[in-house]
Amino acid sequence: MAHEKVNGCVILKDLYYNVDNNTWVRIIDDSTVAVGMTDVAQNLAGPLLHAKTKKVGTGRKLGKPIATVESGKYVGPVKSPVTGEITKINDALSSDAGLINKSPYNNGWIVEMKTDDLSADLATMVSGDDAVAAYKEKIERDNIQACEQIEGADTYD
């Protein structure tokens, strides 16, 4: 899996990113995507205690919350990077929100969504080297501290 680390934070080059909202999209088929929080986002939030997703069948517009996450220092929304309907939720998060910390791009996915217009949504995101460059700029601009490796976390070395 092609990736690059920016200040210790992993950016997978085959995903699409909404950098402002710190969310990613993995294309499943021509209208369905998996959505999650980036390594940057989980690091900023800290060890997550709770993750509550919206219900299957909920329609969401780009930028509207698909879930709420809570850590010891943060409570906030996970904003949708696409417009569409939630078709599946990651049930494992209800008992172990820390999956997002350990595996933000794999086991810690948050929802799957059927998009209204995938190509229009992807046009608002970045991927590959563009995503790496966008995160370099964001991390520098927002003075984000280095991502820490969590014990038991996915490794990309």
* Number of alpha carbons in the 13 Å side-chain half-sphere of residue 135: 32
Q: Strand, coil or helix: what is 31?
A: coil
* Per-residue model confidence (pLDDT) at position 146: 80
The model's pTM: 0.93
Name residues of the chain where pLDDT drops below 50.
Answer: none
The pLDDT tens digits for 107-144 are 999 999 999 999 999 999 999 999 999 999 999 998 88
C-alpha gyration radius of the chain: 14
* Per-residue model confidence (pLDDT) at position 79: 97
CATH class belonging to 3-141: mainly beta
**In the predicted model, what is the mean pLDDT of the chain?**
92
d(CA 101, CA 153): 7
Handedness of CA 95, 41, 77, 26 (dihedral sign): negative
First to last CA, the chain: 10
Handedness of CA 9, 10, 13, 14 (dihedral sign): negative
* Per-residue model confidence (pLDDT) at position 151: 66
d(CA 137, CA 79): 21
